[in-house]
Chain A
Amino acid sequence: MAAPRLLRRIAKRLVRGREAPLILADMDELYRRDRARGLPGWRASWLYAVNTIGSSRSMRRSAGRGNGWGVSWLDLVVGARMLFRHPVITLIGGLGIAVTIAIGVASFTFFYTNLYPTIPLEEGHRLVGLENWDVEINNESRQQLHDYHEWRAAMRTVSEFAAFRPVSADIIGGSSVERIRIAQMTASGFEMARVAPVLGRYLVEADEAVGAVPVLVIGHGIWQSQFAGDPDVVGREVRLGRSTHTIVGVMPEGFGFPFAESYWAPLRLDPNEFERGEGPSIFIFGLLAEGATFEAAQAELAAIGDRASVEYPDTHAQLRARVHPYTYPLIDIQGIGLAEVGAFQVIVSLLLIVVGTNVAVLTYARTATRSTELSVRSALGASRRRLLSQFVAEALVFTVASAAVGLVAARYFIRESNRVMELDLTSAAPFWASYSLPPAAWVYTLFMIALTAVLIGALPALRATGRDLRDSLSDIGGGGSVAFGRTWSLLIVAQIAISVAGLPVAMSMGWTVVGSGATEPNFDSDEILSTRLWMQLDFPPLPDDEARAKYTGPYQGFVAELERRFESETNISAVTIAGTHPGGEPVRRLELDLAAPDGAETTLASARRAEIAVDFFAAFDTPVLDGREFDAGDLSAGMRPVVVNATFVDKILKGMPAVGHRLRYVGRDGVAESEEWREVIGVVADLHSNRADPDWVRPTVYEPVSIPDVGFPARLIVRAPGSAVSNGVGDIEAQLDGIATGLDPSLRLVGTRSLEQISQQETVAIRTTIIALVAVTLSVLLLSAAGVYAMMSFTVTSRTREIGIRSALGGRPGSILRTVFGASLKQMAAGVVLAVALAVALDGLADGGIVGEKGLALVPATALILIVVGVLAALGPARRGLRIEPTDALRSD
Chain B
Amino acid sequence: MANLAEFEQIILFSVLNLDDDACGVSIRDAIMERTGRAVSSGAVYTTLGRLEERGLVESSERGAETGRRGRPRKHYSLLPRGAQVLMQSYQIIQAMAGDSIPKLAELAEG
A residues sitting closer than 8 Å to B (CB atoms) are 15, 17-19, 21-23, 25-30, 32, 50-59, 61-62
Contacts and interface: CB of A to CB of B under 8 A. Distances in A.
B68 A51 contact: no
A659 to B, nearest CB: 87
A56 B42 contact: yes
Nearest to A56: B42
A22 B24 CA distance: 8
Interface stretch (B14-22, B44-52, B87-95, B96-104): B44-52
Pairs of residues from A and B, 6 with the lowest C-beta to C-beta distance, nearest first: A55-B42, A54-B40, A58-B42, A62-B46, A19-B45, A58-B43
B49 A19 contact: yes
B25 A30 contact: yes
Given A58-B46, A62-B50, A51 B25 contact: no
A56 to B, nearest CB: 7
Contact of A55 (B41, B49, B67, B71): B41
A255 to B, nearest CB: 38
A638 to B, nearest CB: 88
Contacts of A58: 40, 42-43, 45-46
Contacts of A28: 69
B74 interface: yes
A54 B46 contact: no
A438 to B, nearest CB: 27
Interface in B35-67: 38-43, 45-46, 49-50, 67
B24 to A, nearest CB: 5
B25 A26 contact: yes
A462 to B, nearest CB: 33
B46 A29 contact: no
A14 to B, nearest CB: 9
A62 B41 contact: no
Contacts of B67: 29, 32
28 contacts: A15-B42, A19-B42, A19-B46, A21-B71, A22-B45, A22-B74, A23-B24, A23-B41, A23-B45, A25-B68, A25-B69, A26-B24, A28-B69, A29-B67, A30-B41, A32-B67, A50-B38, A52-B40, A53-B40, A54-B39, A55-B40, A55-B41, A55-B45, A57-B42, A58-B43, A58-B46, A61-B46, A62-B49
Nearest to A60: B42
Contact of A54 (B24, B42, B68, B71): B42
A52 B43 CA distance: 11
Nearest to B26: A26
Contacts of B38: 50
Contacts of A50: 38, 40
Nearest to B39: A54
A25 B40 contact: no
Given A22-B24, A32-B67, A27 B41 contact: yes
B28 A26 contact: yes
A61 B49 CA distance: 13
Contacts of A59: 42, 46
B62 to A, nearest CB: 12
Contacts of B24: 22-23, 26
A746 B93 CA distance: 87
Contacts of A23: 24, 41-42, 45
Nearest to A23: B41
A19 B45 CA distance: 7
A51 B39 CA distance: 8
A637 B39 CA distance: 90
A19 B39 CA distance: 16
B21 to A, nearest CB: 14
A892 to B, nearest CB: 55
Contacts of A55: 40-43, 45
Interface string B23-35: 0110010000000
A18 B42 CA distance: 11
A18 B49 contact: yes
Nearest to A51: B40
Contacts of B43: 54-55, 58
A355 B38 CA distance: 42
Contacts of B69: 25, 28
Contacts of A52: 40
Contacts of A54: 39-43
Nearest to A36: B67
A872 B28 CA distance: 66
A29 B49 contact: no
A58 B40 CA distance: 8
Contacts of B71: 21-22, 25
B90 to A, nearest CB: 24
Given A22-B45, A30-B28, 9 more contacts: A19-B46, A26-B41, A30-B25, A58-B43, A58-B45, A59-B42, A59-B46, A61-B46, A62-B46
A3 B90 CA distance: 39
Contacts of A51: 40-42
Nearest to B40: A54
Nearest to A28: B69
Q: Which of A17, A21, A26, A54 has the most chain B CB within a 10 Å cutoff?
A: A26
A26 to B, nearest CB: 4
Q: Which of B38, B42, B43, B45 has the most chain A CB within a 10 Å cutoff?
A: B42
Contacts of A18: 49
A606 B39 CA distance: 72
A27 B71 CA distance: 13
A720 to B, nearest CB: 67
B25 to A, nearest CB: 5
B43 to A, nearest CB: 4
A52 B74 CA distance: 19
Contacts of A32: 67
A59 to B, nearest CB: 5
B107 to A, nearest CB: 30
A798 to B, nearest CB: 49
A865 B39 CA distance: 59
A50 B41 CA distance: 10
B7 to A, nearest CB: 10
A438 B71 CA distance: 41
Contacts of A56: 42
Contacts of A19: 42, 45-46, 49
Q: Which of A15, A19, A21, A52 has the most chain B CB within a 10 Å cutoff?
A: A19
A336 B69 CA distance: 50
Q: Which of B46, B67, B74 has the most chain A CB within a 10 Å cutoff?
A: B46
A318 B43 CA distance: 67
Q: Which of A29, A32, A50 has the most chain B CB within a 10 Å cutoff?
A: A29
A57 B39 CA distance: 12
A57 B42 CA distance: 8
Contacts of A62: 46, 49-50
B11 to A, nearest CB: 12
B45 to A, nearest CB: 4
Nearest to A19: B45
A26 B38 CA distance: 14
Q: Which of A22, A50, A52, A56 has the most chain B CB within a 10 Å cutoff?
A: A22
A44 B38 CA distance: 14
Contacts of B39: 54
A18 B46 CA distance: 9
A17 B50 CA distance: 13
Given A18-B49, A62-B50, A29 B25 contact: yes
B42 to A, nearest CB: 3
B39 to A, nearest CB: 7
